[in-house]
Amino acid sequence: MKSLCNIELTSQYIISSSKSSAPLLLPKPVKNPSYVPSKTWKIHAKAKGFNRPNLDKQNSMTNVEKRKKQEEADDKIPDVVMGRMITRILFNVGVPLVTGLGLLQMFSVIRDNNLMQIPRWLPFLTTFITLGASTLGIAYGTLSTSWDADNKGSLLGLEEAKKNWVEMWAQDDSENS
């Protein structure tokens, strides 16, 4: 913030005008008339998050211990499970999306060739349903995957989705309390 203040040549303040709805930006009178801004600008800001403050040994040890406990609490998803999860997500998003685009193309061909009279709401409804299903496919693809690296799970993943749904909410409840 100091660097931004040093860049300003004159301070400004905002007032509202009764004639127009937009506020006016007017220069603020300088309190010290002998103040002359320097010709060279120097940024005085320090990046937050990169400079570690000097902590005493006791505080730094507790921070290290806290970090280790947090890393232990954050379980890494095995690569096998992550691969299965990505495959299920792509399938559960891709199939409804391709179906919706195919139906739109089919409705367009039917209308252009005057094969049948299709109501205008039908393409909107099918697009809404298929794009909504593809959006839900992200969540279902994640939940329907077996989170156990040794267990591959079923084809549809209904049992895994039920089990993972309960486990996910149980973890959320334990974190909030």
The pLDDT tens digits of the residues spanning 92-135 come to 999 999 999 999 999 999 999 999 999 999 999 999 999 999 99
* pLDDT at residue 153, as a whole number: 87
Find the mean pLDDT for residues 134-149.
Answer: 92
What average pLDDT does range 139-145 have in this prediction?
93
pLDDT at position 176 over 80: no
Residues 164-173 have a mean pLDDT of 85
**Whole-number pLDDT of residue 56:** 47
Distances (CA, A) of 43 to 2, 8, 50, 131, 139: 8, 12, 17, 49, 46
Quick one: pLDDT band at residue 149, thresholds 50, 70, 90?
confident
Express each pLDDT in 1-36 by its tens digit.
Answer: 555 555 545 555 555 555 556 665 555 555 665 656
**38 to 14, 54, 73, 103, 162: CA distances (angstroms):** 25, 33, 52, 67, 67
State the average pLDDT over residues 152-160: 90
What is the rounded average pLDDT for all residues in the chain? Answer: 78
pLDDT, tens digit (0-9, with 9 covering 90-100), for 49-77: 555 555 544 455 577 777 777 766 666 78
The better pLDDT of the pair 83, 36 is held by 83
- CA separation for the pair 41, 9 (Å, rounded): 11
Contact 148, 160 (CB under 8 A): no
Gap between the Cα atoms of 168 and 21, Å rounded: 51
The answer to whether the pTM exceeds 0.85 is no
What is the model's pLDDT at position 121?
95
